[in-house]
Amino acid sequence: MKAFVFPGQGAQFTGMGKDLYENNPLAKELFDKANDILGFNITNIMFEGTDEELRQTKVTQPAVFLHSVISALCMGEDFKPEIVGGHSLGEFSALVASGCLSFEDGLKLVYKRAMAMQKACDAEPSTMAAIIGLDDATITNICAEVSTEGNIVIPANFNCPGQVVISGNIDAVNTACAKLKEAGARRALPLKVGGAFHSPLMMPAQEELAAAIEATTFMEPKCPVYQNVDAKGHTNPDEIKANLLKQLTSSVRWTEEVQNMIADGATDFTECGPGKVLQGTIGKINKEVTAHGIE
């Protein structure tokens, strides 16, 4: 069974999508449409911009979404997903690719999400860190020990065995990193991000996004969409909407999501979008399946 997966923020690079734009009429049409919808030439930043320009959340999220979705749609007859899933932002790409959201609505929601998350980041200084070489349970327990009501840290991304990202207030993340290294983590690496994604600190962004999601038409997807919040496949539009909203303040259960896709029959994973991050995680989660980019 073929699964198509879509990366999240952090996979971006200068030049992403340029070949598609120059060589595929459908890609050019969709990129030009995106410029009109967003009200600025995101293609200029994607194709020629600096790393710093691409790292702005309001640019990064729609840029990765556009590259991912357009890459998939330009596969033509080769794009026949039986299962789809995405990591964080990539879940929006998966929803468009599965027919649950229109291209236009998906892009508008992603841009709204990016702006709301940026505002939440600006309102409260916060951060994330990657924990390497420690089991999920130990990380979860130490985060729970460190967290207090006004100084929180939680596991934000369960990416693959031995790689978890934590998220929260700066002091709490720093304290957790020290304790996690004492507990045996090989590394605790601060990430260059502007805020605590996938934590309760994103609640203002979730509230802002709620109205936009509610006002958007979600259709029944043509195949199950596996979602980060519960790691399960969904086809009911109301369930999909509810899970998509919860995602902003909840952990990304990617390891479990990939395991569930495999348990449900996925044997071949194609990553659509920039980079190879998801291919790497899938290889660490299960060595029996194949994972590759678009041929």
- The domain spanning residue 130 has which CATH number? 3.30.70.250
pTM for the whole structure: 0.95
Q: Do residues 59 and 109 both lie within one domain?
A: yes
* Same domain? 70 vs 113: yes
Catalytic residue numbers, as ranges: 88, 198
33-90 pLDDT per residue, tens: 999 999 999 999 999 999 889 888 889 999 999 999 999 999 988 899 999 999 999 9
DSSP state of 220: P
150 membership: H or E segment, kind and range = none
Task: Using the Cα atoms of residue 97, residue 102, residue 103 and residue 109 in order, give the sign of their dihedral.
Answer: negative
Q: Give the model's pLDDT for residue 251.
A: 96
C-alpha Rg value of the chain to the nearest Å: 18
pLDDT class for 95, splitting at 50, 70, 90? Answer: very high
Q: What is the phi/psi pair of residue 37, to 5°?
A: -65, -45
pLDDT reported for residue 192: 79
Distance in angstroms between the alpha carbons of the first and the last residue of the chain: 17
Q: Tens of pLDDT along 103-118? A: 999 999 999 999 999 8
- CA 230 and chain centroid, separation: 15
* 114 & 130 share domain: no
The b-or-e profile of 101-118 (16+ CB within 10 A means b, else e) is: bebebbbbbbbbbbbbbb
- In this structure, what token pair is assigned to residue 180? 């996690």
Domain containing 167 equals: 126-190
158 lies in the same domain as 26: no
Rounded to an integer, what distance in angstroms lies between the CA atom of residue 6 and that of residue 114?
17
| pLDDT (mean) for 153-163 | 97
H or E, element range at 30: helix 25-38
Q: Is the pLDDT of residue 194 over 80?
A: no
Distance CA 226, CA 50 (A): 33
Q: How high does pLDDT run on average in the chain?
A: 95
* Share of residues in the chain with pLDDT > 90 (%): 89
Q: What does the pLDDT read at residue 52?
A: 87
The CATH number that applies at residue 32 is: 3.40.366.10
- For residue 157, pLDDT over 80 is answered with yes
Pairing of strands 187-190, 126-132: antiparallel
Mean of the pLDDT values across residues 264-292?
A: 96
Q: In the prediction, which pLDDT does 295 show?
A: 67
Same domain, 208 and 179: no
User: In this predicted structure, what is the pLDDT of residue 56?
Assistant: 84
In whole angstroms, what is the distance from residue 149 CA to residue 209 CA? 24
134/16 same-domain check:
no
pLDDT, average across residues 3-9: 95
Co-location of 91 and 130 in the same domain: no
